[in-house]
């Protein structure tokens, strides 16, 4: 039997256990091995498929490693200037209120250069979803300190570790936006274990559902993520490091839900 | 029944935005243009359903414009000089992504925080790029409250014709002063969807992407070549200029916007004294009416360029005339407005040759 026939025999509907979501393009991810961006992209695509919302969804890509998110996620997308994704999302949502709009941003993008836009988008209660990938570092530009870099954590611009007396403190922007009346759902998730991946997907789905159902404000999902390349670790080491160092500070779970604070 | 109304320049502009069928305005208060945001906040939504949003900054405003303009709707913002400076990164993105929109700069005196009084010191910024990269805006320079209104409609037409941001460059005096204006009829708010917009992807088309990122240099060069070809078309088709009493003129005074009106008065004073003086008023600052100056230079003895700045447009006038005749400059800065008498004196002393020389 030729290889192709074997493949054809296996490739039948009843044998299907896993496939690429329709809302993911065929472009191979450019992300480093072990990076969380690809996992979260996939989750967004899965939710879009399952909810059947591809034609209503408009995304906004940031400047950062996920600047090319539009090459992967198969919906109409706009690539924003560094930090401005939530303002761009606001512009889209304000003129197309019946579309489902999300921004996808890194920690430098969302919590340093774009802090103003983040806070005010959430404070206006824009009915958009903000997905925030917190890898504690500037990935795209090669590992500089991020606003979320942990105390004593090394980066190329904190080569001896982040000295908070000089560089300030790691910023818990998610708790900050949860305190704003404009947000309706604020949660912190991770994707380094299968169970957590499922939870993150649920959070994404819930956010799109809330955006579709009501106009009660911004949904905000932080995903605590690794950056093996710039943390200078293997993917496995980076996940372990994330669990042992990032999670005690950035604790997982819902911070605010539509039915009241948690 | 007269359709004439007495309106402030800024309010006529805002009213024109509503009537042009503008879908959304995003802006941030700054003197001397806050009336645009105020007027729209009061009038727009209830009349046409137009979205009006006070953003947290000009940076946010222009990026809201970027997002909203990507849906193919008629989108605008306005500000004054310091705010326009903050918008430059966004304008560059919008120009590269080829999104139609209107940006209004009610120029005030700078540099820095400067003054809230009128100036033309943002000419370079508006006409030569302003933000990073090789891009151009069509820049319209109204000189009356009537044109503050008319040019809004024109700006949206040009924005969609070229898929390009258009700037109305005016100043604090035109923004604040009241004049009679005949308003054009209310246009419908209608979507002009042509296929590139990010509005949600139907099954039968690939997803649309609005981006200014083209990481491969050959692709980025291709984009640049395309943009330059577009700007060339604008130069061929969109030059607008007014010439006043130039046919028999020995001398020309030139200026744009408010200054052009003062120049016209100065030219009248000159004619009263027996001096044959005409006026050239560029209406589009980009594309600049180079040819008008080049041709007139064969028939006149010199040009006095007048601006409310240290001399910016004069560089384009010199380029246009290409050394054929002398060109002199008279300017006031920092929010000061020249008088016709000052201009006449400058014409006589700098160009014609003063009595005491
Ligand atoms: C105005 C501006 N400033 C700086 C940069 C350079 N820059 C690109 S990405 C980036 C940081 C991205 O880090 P983050 O948002 O954490 O995302 P990651 O790459 O880690 O996913 C910076 C500083 C830029 N493109 N634009």
B138 and B297 Cβ atoms separated by less than 8 Å: no
The dihedral region occupied by A64, where left means phi > 0, alpha psi between -120 and 50, and beta the remainder, is left
Closest ligand 1 atom, residue A148 Cα:
16
CATH 3.40.50.920 in chain B: give the residue spans: 241-352
Asked whether the beta carbons of residue A76 and residue B60 sit closer than 8 angstroms, the reply is no
Alpha-carbon distance values, B318 to B16, B140, B304, B351 (Å): 35, 20, 11, 15
How many Å apart are CA A137 and CA A144, to the nearest integer?
A: 6
- Ligand 1 centroid – CA B221 distance (Å): 23
Residue B191 is predicted with a pLDDT of 85
Which H helix or E strand runs over A44?
Answer: helix A36-51
pLDDT digits (tens, 9 = 90+) for A59-105: 999 999 999 999 999 999 999 999 999 999 999 999 999 999 999 99
CATH of domain B241-352: 3.40.50.920
pLDDT band (50, 70, 90) for residue A259? confident
> In this predicted complex, what is the ipTM?
0.95
Which H helix or E strand runs over A131?
Answer: strand A129-134
Asked whether the beta carbons of residue B67 and residue A89 sit closer than 8 angstroms, the reply is yes
Find which of A95, A105, A113, A115 to mutate to test the B interface (most B CBs within 10 Å of its CB): A95
pLDDT digits (tens, 9 = 90+) for A14-39: 988 888 999 999 999 999 999 999 99
How many Å apart are CA B322 and CA B302, to the nearest integer?
A: 12
CATH class of A32-260: alpha beta
Q: Does residue A254 sit in helix, strand or coil?
A: strand
Alpha-carbon distance values, A172 to A111, A182, A200, B111, B172 (Å): 9, 17, 19, 38, 43
Tell me which residues of chain B have a pLDDT lower than 70: 1-2, 354-357
Between B248 and A13, whose confidence is greater? B248
Closest ligand 1 atom, residue A134 Cα:
16
pLDDT digits (tens, 9 = 90+) for A121-162: 999 999 999 999 999 999 999 999 999 999 999 999 999 999
Mapping DSSP onto H, E and C, the string for B233-263 reads HHHHHCCCEEEECCCCCCEEEECCCHHHHHH
User: Ligand 1 site: residues with CB under 6 angstroms?
Assistant: A 63-66, 82, 106-109, 133, 135, 137-141, 146
Q: Which of B111, B46, B99, B53 is nearest to B78 (CA)?
A: B53
Fold of B3-237: Rossmann fold (3.40.50)
Alpha-carbon distance values, A152 to A149, A155, A160, A168, A243 (Å): 8, 9, 7, 11, 16
C-alpha triplet A193, A197, A199: angle, nearest 5°: 120
Residue A11 is predicted with a pLDDT of 85
Which of A25, A60, A75 is nearest residue B67 as measured by Cβ atoms?
A: A60
Residue A179 is predicted with a pLDDT of 98
Q: Which residues contact B346 (CB under 8 A, 6 or more apart)?
A: B304, B306, B328, B330
Residue B17: what are its φ and ψ, rounded to 5°?
A: -60, -45
Residue B1 is predicted with a pLDDT of 44
- Ligand 1 centroid – CA B295 distance (Å): 50
Indicate the top mutation candidate among A64, A137, A149 to test ligand 1's pocket, ranked by most ligand atoms within 8 A of CB: A64
Asked whether the beta carbons of residue B60 and residue A94 sit closer than 8 angstroms, the reply is no
Residue B2 is predicted with a pLDDT of 57
Nearest CA in chain B to A122: B56
**Closest Cα in chain A, distance from residue B53 (Å):** 9
Residue A10 is predicted with a pLDDT of 87
Which of B51, B70, B201 is nearest residue A55 as measured by Cβ atoms?
A: B201
How many Å apart are CA A11 and CA A195, to the nearest integer?
A: 27
B227 and B135 Cβ atoms separated by less than 8 Å: yes
């Amino acid at each position: 039997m030729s290889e192709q026939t074997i493949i054809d025999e296996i490739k039948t509907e009843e044998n299907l256990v896993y496939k690429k979501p329709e809302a993911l393009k065929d472009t191979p991810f450019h992300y480093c091995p072990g990076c969380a961006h690809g996992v979260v992209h996939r989750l967004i695509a899965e939710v879009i498929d399952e909810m059947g919302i591809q034609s209503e969804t408009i995304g906004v890509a940031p400047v950062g490693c996920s600047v090319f998110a539009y090459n992967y996620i198969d919906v109409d997308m706009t690539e924003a200037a560094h930090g401005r994704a939530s303002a761009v999302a606001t512009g889209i949502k304000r003129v197309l209120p019946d579309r489902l709009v999300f921004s996808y941003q890194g920690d430098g993008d969302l919590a340093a250069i774009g802090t103003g836009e983040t806070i005010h988008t959430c404070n206006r209660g824009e009915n958009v979803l903000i997905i925030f990938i917190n890898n504690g570092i500037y990935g795209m530009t090669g590992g500089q300190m991020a606003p979320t870099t942990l105390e004593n954590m090394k980066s190329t611009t904190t080569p001896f570790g982040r000295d908070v007396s000089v560089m300030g403190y790691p910023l818990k922007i998610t708790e900050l936006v949860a305190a704003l009346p404009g947000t309706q759902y604020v949660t912190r998730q991770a994707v380094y274990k299968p169970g957590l991946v499922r939870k993150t997907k649920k959070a994404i789905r819930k956010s799109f559902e809330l955006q579709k159902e009501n106009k009660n404000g911004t949904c905000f999902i932080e995903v605590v993520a690794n950056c093996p390349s710039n943390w200078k670790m293997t993917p496995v080491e980076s996940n372990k490091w994330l669990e042992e160092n990032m999670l005690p500070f950035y604790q997982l779970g819902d911070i605010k839900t539509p039915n009241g604070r948690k | 029944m007269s359709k004439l109304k007495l309106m402030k320049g800024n309010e006529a502009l805002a009213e024109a935005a509503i009537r042009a069928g503008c879908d959304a305005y995003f802006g941030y208060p700054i003197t001397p243009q806050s009336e645009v945001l105020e007027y729209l906040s009061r009038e727009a939504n209830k009349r046409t359903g137009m979205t009006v949003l006070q953003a947290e900054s000009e940076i946010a405003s222009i990026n809201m414009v970027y997002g909203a303009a990507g849906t193919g709707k008629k989108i605008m913002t306005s500000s004054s000089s310091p705010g326009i400076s903050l918008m430059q990164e966004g304008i560059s993105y919008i120009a590269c992504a080829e999104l139609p929109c209107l940006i209004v700069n009610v120029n005030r005196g700078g540099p820095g925080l400067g003054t809230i009084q009128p100036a033309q010191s943002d000419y370079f910024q508006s006409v030569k790029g302003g933000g990073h990269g090789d891009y151009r805006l069509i820049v319209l320079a109204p000189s009356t409250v009537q044109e503050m209104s008319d040019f809004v409609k024109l700006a949206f037409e040009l924005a969609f014709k070229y898929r390009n941001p258009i700037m109305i460059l005016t100043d604090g005096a035109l923004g604040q002063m009241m004049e009679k204006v005949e308003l054009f009829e209310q246009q419908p708010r209608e979507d002009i969807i042509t296929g590139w917009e990010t509005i949600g992807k139907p099954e039968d088309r690939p997803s649309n992407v609005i981006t200014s990122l083209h990481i491969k240099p050959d692709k980025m060069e291709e984009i640049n070549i395309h943009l330059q070809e577009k700007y060339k078309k604008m130069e061929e088709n969109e030059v607008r200029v007014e010439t006043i009493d130039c046919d028999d003129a020995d001398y020309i005074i030139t200026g744009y916007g408010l200054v052009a009106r003062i120049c016209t008065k100065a030219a009248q004073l000159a004619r009263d004294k027996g001096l044959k003086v005409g006026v050239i008023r560029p209406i589009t600052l980009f594309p600049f009416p180079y040819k008008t100056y080049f041709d007139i230079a064969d028939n006149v003895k010199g040009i006095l360029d007048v601006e409310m700045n240290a001399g910016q447009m004069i560089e384009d006038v010199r380029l246009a005339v290409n050394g054929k005749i002398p060109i002199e400059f008279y300017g006031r800065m920092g929010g000061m407005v020249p008088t016709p008498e000052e201009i006449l004196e400058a014409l006589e002393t700098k160009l014609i040759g003063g009595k005491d020389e």
